[in-house]
Amino acid sequence: MTVATIFALASAPGRGGVAVFRLSGPASADTLHSLTGKRLQPRLATRVRVRHGGEDIDDGLALYFPAPHSFTGEEVVELHLHGGRAVAAALSQSLLELGLRPAEAGEFSRRAFLNDKLDLTRAEAIADLVDAETAAQRRQALQQLDGGLAALVEGWRQDLIRALALTEAIIDFSDEGIGDDLADDVLRQVRALMADMRAKTREGQRRERLRDGIHIAILGAPNAGKSSLMNRIAGREVAIVSAKAGTTRDVIETHLDLHGWPVVLADTAGLREAAEDIEAEGIARALARAESADLKMLVFDASLLPERDAQTRSMIDEASIVVFNKADVANPVDSDAGIMVSARTGLGLDALLARLESEVANRFAVSAEPALTRARHRAAVEECLAALSRFDPAKPVELAAEDLRQAAQAIGRITGRVDVEELLDVVFAEFCIGK
Ligand SMILES: Nc1nc2c(c(=O)[nH]1)N(C=O)[C@@H](CNc1ccc(C(=O)N[C@@H](CCC(=O)O)C(=O)O)cc1)CN2
Ligand SMILES: Nc1nc2c(ncn2[C@@H]2O[C@H](COP(=O)(O)OP(=O)(O)OP(=O)(O)O)[C@@H](O)[C@H]2O)c(=O)[nH]1
Ligand SMILES: [Mg+2]
């Protein structure tokens, strides 16, 4: 089977300054030759006239990356053209006529993975970097692209392979009476590894939040001004506001960049007892949000007697911020009790945002350490931990070894570098040296 040569518009579609087309596959250089009459020096931007079927398409720049020294590891050509829709359409049509096929989503990165240019964590990091909307997300993705996570899990996998080699050696040393010492060693190593993995799994849950957005739920009694506050923070009319209690029913989300932190702010239905069906469902959703949120913003109407709002008060805990709204029409409250704001006038908003930011920063500050960043990574580590908790060197050695092998396989799935042959090679190499 010959490999298809694929192409795609790598820059955003539509009208723009410059459009970058990327070609990858064995026919890339020949395609460039038929479009421009040129064969290019590797990696040197060259001015080209692009023509096809007797028609001039554009005046552009081209780059050639010979295999295997390219992003995909294949022959790669880039055409940097004027960013107009007609130019893009004409070039795409020409490439189709020359036998190239449009790339599928992620296909360039997939080819890079298949050609050993990227492991799965780096491929995921590219996707995250493209999706990053805030500075914290960008930093986390770049750290992963630089191979931090790959090195972490590869280190774990190597530790497991060493433990496996030792376990298999136990059988050979059992006659010499040092098998028990070895077994103790291995068990100690496995336990230390498990502790490290558990710590990284906990940290990983915070990092997943950084990828997806930190969830802040706005909660409180009907008419406290939750929707007004949400609109004020978002700077636009996201939610309907009215003087009628019970206006908001569904959970309404808006995405914010809180000084570099990705936040998903959710406005919810006002909490109260008596309610008809639809409102009751809205309240159930609000309570579910309160449960799953990273942080709760509890809004009280300061113009009423906030202490009367028992339901909202009962939600105060270490993951909540108390806000007294309608400061424009209320007497000031003790500033230790909460933050006075007015959604109507904007009073106190800066203090509220500063408080939100510091709460988020305290909870989600990213260390320089690499971390698991996706549910996929966590699932693999949990599977590995399950295999390791079955491990017991007192078991028959084949069974104990099998637990370690499964643990290593599970971890290998994170980078995608699972290779039974390689595992066996290392195991047997160490096994022989050990003898
Ligand atoms: N124009 C352009 N800009 C781009 C990319 C691109 O493909 N084209 N990138 C793509 O997403 C990113 C840069 N990443 C890249 C990663 C590897 C290689 C590459 O050619 N790697 C070869 C050579 C390595 C070397 O000598 O430095 C290799 O790995 O063998 C190119 C770009 C962002 N900017
Ligand atoms: N004076 C004053 N009125 C406010 C303020 N914030 C909101 N209101 C008013 O309070 C009423 C209720 O506001 P909403 O934002 O709809 O309240 P809510 O908490 O979302 O209410 P539900 O969706 O019913 O739970 C509206 O008439 C708002 O104009 C404020 O800061 N000051
Ligand atoms: Mg509302």
pLDDT digits (tens, 9 = 90+) for 272-327: 986 789 999 999 999 999 999 999 999 999 999 877 899 999 999 999 999 999 99
Q: State yes or no: pLDDT of 73 exceeds 60.
A: yes
Q: 43: buried, middle or exposed (CB in 10 Å: 19+, 13-18, 0-12)?
A: exposed
Residue 421: per-residue pLDDT: 53
Residue 177: per-residue pLDDT: 60
Lowest-confidence region among 25-34, 83-92, 313-322, 390-399 = 390-399
Annotated binding site for GTP: 223-228, 242-248, 267-270, 325-328, 342-344
Model pLDDT for residues 165-210, shown as the tens digit of each residue? 888 877 666 665 666 777 888 999 999 999 999 999 999 998 999 8
Q: How far is the CA of 253 from the centre of ligand 3 (A)?
A: 12
- CATH architecture assigned to 220-362: 3-Layer(aba) Sandwich (3.40)
Bridge pairing between strands 214-220 and 261-267:
parallel
What is the number of the ligand closest to the CA of 244? 2
For residue 225, give the DSSP letter.
S
DSSP characters over 251-302 = -EEEEEEETTEEEEEEE-PPP-SS--HHHHHHHHHHHHHHHH-SEEEEEEET
- 255: which strand partners? 264
Q: State yes or no: pLDDT of 243 exceeds 90.
A: yes
| Nearest alpha carbon, ligand 1 atom 14 | 71
Q: Which two tokens stand for residue 41?
A: 């020096």
pLDDT band (50, 70, 90) for residue 427: very low
Residue 176: per-residue pLDDT: 59
Q: State yes or no: pLDDT of 49 exceeds 70.
A: yes
242 lines ligand 2 (CB under 6 A): yes
Average pLDDT over residues 147-175: 87
Topology (CATH level 3) of domain 124-209+374-430: Four Helix Bundle (Hemerythrin (Met), subunit A) (1.20.120)
Residue 131 neighbours by CB under 8 Å, 6+ apart: 137
Q: State yes or no: pLDDT of 422 exceeds 60.
A: no
Closest ligand 1 atom to residue 108 Cα is 11
The whole-angstrom separation of Cα 120 and Cα 114 is: 10
| Nearest alpha carbon, ligand 2 atom 8 | 225
Residue 126: per-residue pLDDT: 92
pLDDT band (50, 70, 90) for residue 156: very high
Residue 173: per-residue pLDDT: 65
Q: How far is the CA of 128 from the centre of ligand 1 (A)?
A: 17
Q: State yes or no: pLDDT of 391 exceeds 50.
A: yes
Residues in the chain: 435
Q: How far is the CA of 71 from the centre of ligand 1 (A)?
A: 5
329 lines ligand 2 (CB under 6 A): yes
Q: How far is the CA of 341 from the centre of ligand 2 (A)?
A: 12
The whole-angstrom separation of Cα 179 and Cα 166 is: 10
Residue 430: per-residue pLDDT: 37
Lowest-confidence region among 223-232, 290-299, 320-329, 391-400 = 391-400
Q: What amino acid is encoded at 146 in this protein? A: D
CB 27 within 8 A of CB 99: yes
- Number of alpha carbons in the 13 Å side-chain half-sphere of residue 412: 17
pLDDT band (50, 70, 90) for residue 85: very high
Residue 20: per-residue pLDDT: 97
Topology (CATH level 3) of domain 6-103: Gyrase A; domain 2 (3.30.1360)
**Sequence ranges of the domains in the chain:** 6-103, 124-209+374-430, 220-362
| Nearest alpha carbon, ligand 1 atom 15 | 71
Residue 435: per-residue pLDDT: 30
343 lines ligand 2 (CB under 6 A): yes
The whole-angstrom separation of Cα 419 and Cα 426 is: 11
pLDDT band (50, 70, 90) for residue 56: very high
